[in-house]
Amino acid sequence: MEAPVRIEGVWKTFGSTAAVRGLSLSVPPHSVYGFLGPNGAGKSTTIRMMLGLQRADRGAVFLFGRPFAEERIAALRRIGSMVESPSLYPHLTGRENLEVHRRLLSLSRAAIDEALETVDLLSVGDRLVRNYSSGMKQRLALAQALLGTPELLLLDEPTNGLDPAGIHEVRTLVRDLPKRRGMTVFLSSHLLAEVEQVATHFAIISQGQLKFEGTPEELRARSRQRIVVEVDQPERAQARLAGVGRKVTCEGDLLLIEPEDEFGPARINAILVQAGVAVSSLAMQRSTLEDAFLELTTPSQEGGQ
Amino acid sequence: MMLLRVLYAESLKMKRTIAFKMVVIAPVAVGLLILFVAAQAPFSMLRPNIPGDKWMPLAHLNLLVWAVLMLPLFITLETALIAGLDHAENQWKNLLARPVPRWTFYVAKLLIVVAMTAASTVVLLCGVLVAGAILPRLPLSVEVSFGLPVPWADMLRLGSQVAGLAFLMLTIQHWVSLRWRAFSVAIGVGILATVASYLMLAAGLGGWEQYFPWSLPMLVIARTPQNIEAALWAGGAVGFVVAAAGCWDFCRRDVK
């Protein structure tokens, strides 16, 4: 089955600033694809190029296996999107806001009720949007994106401005869409925590470049392990381990040590005990997804990526 | 078909806005003003010393105020309002991500303002009929007659010429309104250009300044005979070029 989204070497420059630099990625069908990166990493620009709102300077976007630049209308017929903050007509009701898009999409009127019901706004659909709370506006924008049950849903920071209950609702909805409706969801966020519970695949970008693409398991596998030791004399322990060639980071009473085959937890423990250092705890710790995310997205001190 | 879909969607967006109401409010305001002035000074306004019905002098008066002042402001406001509906909250990122060609949005909005301009001119002419029915019943200082048949064809011809000559100004205002997000830019351009055209009228039309886009509708009611047909063709042709250039610019621009 064709990848719903495939991007090949896309560049986008604003003035002298390159917002997206040679980005390539591929979104598997029926996945929830978490598109992660810090603010200003180029996520929204990428999504805008996927929707034809902005033109790539170089490279190509393929949607459903076809070049987007050549078959824009056909591709957009299969896409629902919500880019950044909700864009709604405040002087119209929720239902009328959806009606504007229903008319553009030439859908049946039943599609409006279906979308409102999905986001739990059916009972307030006839209320003017200017009287909606920010959470309700966010859900209405989501309903707008879901109108006509698209095959691909592009959501850019969909939980911005939502309270915890709203975030939970959106998360549940997004998680269920591939199963319930066979959709592929492309979900951009700057918050790993928001995406990691629902995403089946990740892409991480920083400064317009792809840093990682794969499953959460693959991201976890990249993450480093370390031995965390709690001792009574950290300086002495550090000096002893340095004496046998181990690089140790000291954080209070904790020593953080990079493991190696010959310097596993048992050997480290033995060295410290022999040196007269009391070890109160010793554990292997794998860095979290968040650590891996930060490591990938934090520019190095040398000025590299 | 696509264009009809967009027109259908555009019409809903204007619900509860002043855009549709202005089609009636603007010409009625002109009609009431002329009725008031004509009732106060019928001699100078309606020239009762010249024999015959006063339908055409009354229509001229209405169209004069309409062409000089209200029509440019009406077009400025309507184009800015209709573009502003989608500039506000950056609706473009939703609309232009729909499976609809971009040009249809530009053309649909243009057609709506053209239709509104035509409709408001018709309302103005209807106001002339109402004023013609009221004036003879008022205790005027001179006698004026508004007999039958009403010169429909002449009044409609004058009205459609005024509206037709406004097409170039309309296409410029439409482009400005869609090109710049700030409401103040479109309104500022419209007001400045209207004032400029008024000053040109005060200085006396006759030179190149009569072809200033905001002055064109005045050619119809100018005292010296003008080649209206040529102006209509030229204004229409340049208007189409401006509309096409504006549409091209709209279609190729990135959405922020």
- The predicted pLDDT at position B210 comes to 74
| CB-based contact B98 A144, cutoff 8 Å | no
Residues whose CB is less than 8 angstroms from the CB of residue A26 and which lie 6 or more positions away in sequence, other chains included: A3, A5, A6, A7, A213
How many structural domains compose chain B?
1
User: How large is the ipTM?
Assistant: 0.88
Report long-range pairs for A162-170 (Cβ below 8 Å, ≥24 apart).
A162/A134, A162/A135, A162/A138, A163/A135, A166/A135, A166/A138, A166/A139, A167/A194, A169/A120, A169/A139, A170/A138, A170/A139, A170/A142
Residues 183-242 of B with CB under 8 A from A: none
- pLDDT class of B49 with cuts at 50, 70, 90: low
- The predicted pLDDT at position A298 comes to 75
Interface-testing mutation among B15, B86, B93, with chain A (most A C-beta atoms within 10 A) = B93
The dihedral sign for the CA sequence A257, A259, A260, A262: positive
Give CA–CA dist B1/A150, Å, rounded.
22
- Spell out which residues of chain B touch residue A90, defining contact as CB-CB under 8 Å: 89
> Pairing relation of β-strands A32-36 and A79-82?
unpaired
Higher pLDDT, A288 or B28: B28
Residue in A53, A88, A89 closest to B96 by CB:
A53
Q: Rounded mean pLDDT of chain A? A: 88
Full domain range(s) for residue B213 = 2-252
Q: Rounded mean pLDDT of chain B? A: 89
Residue A305 has pLDDT above 60, yes or no: no
| CB-based contact B8 A103, cutoff 8 Å | yes
> What is the pTM for the complete model shown?
0.86
- The predicted pLDDT at position A239 comes to 87
Give CA–CA dist A53/A127, Å, rounded.
30
Interface-testing mutation among B20, B95, B98, with chain A (most A C-beta atoms within 10 A) = B98
Per-residue pLDDT reduced to its tens digit, A231-290: 888 888 888 888 888 878 888 888 888 777 677 888 888 888 998 989 999 888 776 777
Q: What is the mean pLDDT of residues A35-47?
A: 92
- The predicted pLDDT at position A35 comes to 94
Is the CB of B92 inside 8 Å of chain A's CB atoms? yes
* Alpha helices (runs of H) in chain B, residue ranges in sequence order: 2-13, 18-40, 42-46, 55-65, 71-87, 92-95, 102-134, 152-165, 167-179, 183-203, 228-252
Helices and strands (H, E) in chain A, number of each type? 11, 14
Per-residue pLDDT reduced to its tens digit, A50-95: 999 999 999 999 999 999 999 999 999 999 999 988 899 999 999 9
Q: Which of B254, B253, B248 is nearest to B103 (CA)?
A: B248
- Please tell me whether residue A67 adopts helix, strand or coil conformation: strand
Interface A–B counts its CB contacts (< 8 A) at 77
Residue A165 has pLDDT above 50, yes or no: yes
Residue B35 has pLDDT above 70, yes or no: yes
Residue in A51, A96, A103 closest to B97 by CB:
A51
Residue A303 has pLDDT above 80, yes or no: no
| CB-based contact B99 A96, cutoff 8 Å | no
